């Protein structure tokens, strides 16, 4: 009878599996390192006016954007805000207000929301600097208010933002907004 040689099972598959898991764990850690360090969170107990008040008391030029997640023009403007704002995020504060969130009703009454989409720009002193005509470019407003803005970054943001937006009032949203303000 011939002798059989017993070979030890290869450990190569186990070794490769361990290396694969280690690389996967390393990839996850590298990915997590590249995520933004601080993602703003919303405190559900915080009044809806708090983010705006905080921005204004920090003497930051501020953009407030009132919108609905169901309005086509609002979604177009929201996309533009998301494209343009990062370049100005260190010099201009942004307050995003969904008009259908019941937690925002006090803030909406305070600012006198009449229709959406609506942008309001505040200068660093907290004064309402400019309220564009529903996102339509109004160069006369921009030129008139540029002297009172007291900051080139807010003016630049307004020009870039308004240059990228051409929109009109959402006819579906207006009656619903008026009922919220009643």
DSSP secondary-structure letter at 97?
Answer: E
Query: What tokens appear for 78 in the block?
Result: 């929201």
Q: Dihedrals φ, ψ of 73, to 5°?
A: -65, -35
DSSP secondary-structure letter at 31?
Answer: H
Q: Dihedrals φ, ψ of 10, to 5°?
A: -70, 140
| Cα 168 from Cα 72, distance rounded (Å) | 10
What local confidence, expressed as pLDDT, does residue 56 receive? 83
> 0.85 cut: is pTM over it?
no
What local confidence, expressed as pLDDT, does residue 157 receive? 57
Query: What tokens appear for 9 in the block?
Result: 């099972």
What local confidence, expressed as pLDDT, does residue 176 receive? 46
Three-state SS at 15: helix
Nearest residue to 96 (alpha-carbon basis) of 79, 165, 35? 79
| Cα 18 from Cα 16, distance rounded (Å) | 5
DSSP code string of 109-134: HHHT--SSSEEEEE-TTS-EEE--BT
In CATH, 50-173 is 3.40.30.10: yes
What local confidence, expressed as pLDDT, does residue 139 receive? 46
What local confidence, expressed as pLDDT, does residue 174 receive? 43
- pLDDT tens, residue order, the chain (182 aa): 566 656 666 677 776 667 766 666 555 555 555 444 333 445 666 777 888 888 888 888 888 888 888 888 888 878 877 877 787 788 888 888 888 888 888 888 887 777 777 778 887 777 776 555 444 444 444 444 444 444 445 555 555 555 443 333 344 444 444 444 34
């Amino acid at each position: 009878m011939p002798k059989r040689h017993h070979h030890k099972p290869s450990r190569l598959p186990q070794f490769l599996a361990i290396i694969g898991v280690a690389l996967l764990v390393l990839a996850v850690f590298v990915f997590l390192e590249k995520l933004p360090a601080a993602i703003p969170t919303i405190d559900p107990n915080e009044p809806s006016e708090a983010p705006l008040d905080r921005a204004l008391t920090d003497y930051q030029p501020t953009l407030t954007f009132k919108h609905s997640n169901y309005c086509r023009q609002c979604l177009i403007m929201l996309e533009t805000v998301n494209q343009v704002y990062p370049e100005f995020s260190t010099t201009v504060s942004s307050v995003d207000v969904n008009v259908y969130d019941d937690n925002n009703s006090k803030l909406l009454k305070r600012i006198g929301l009449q229709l959406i989409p609506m942008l309001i720009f505040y200068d660093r002193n907290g004064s309402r600097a400019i309220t564009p005509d529903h996102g339509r470019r109004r160069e006369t407003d921009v030129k008139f208010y540029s002297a009172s803005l007291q900051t080139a970054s807010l003016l630049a943001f307004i020009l870039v933002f308004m240059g990228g937006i051409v929109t009109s009032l959402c006819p579906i949203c207006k009656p619903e907004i008026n009922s919220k303000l009643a």
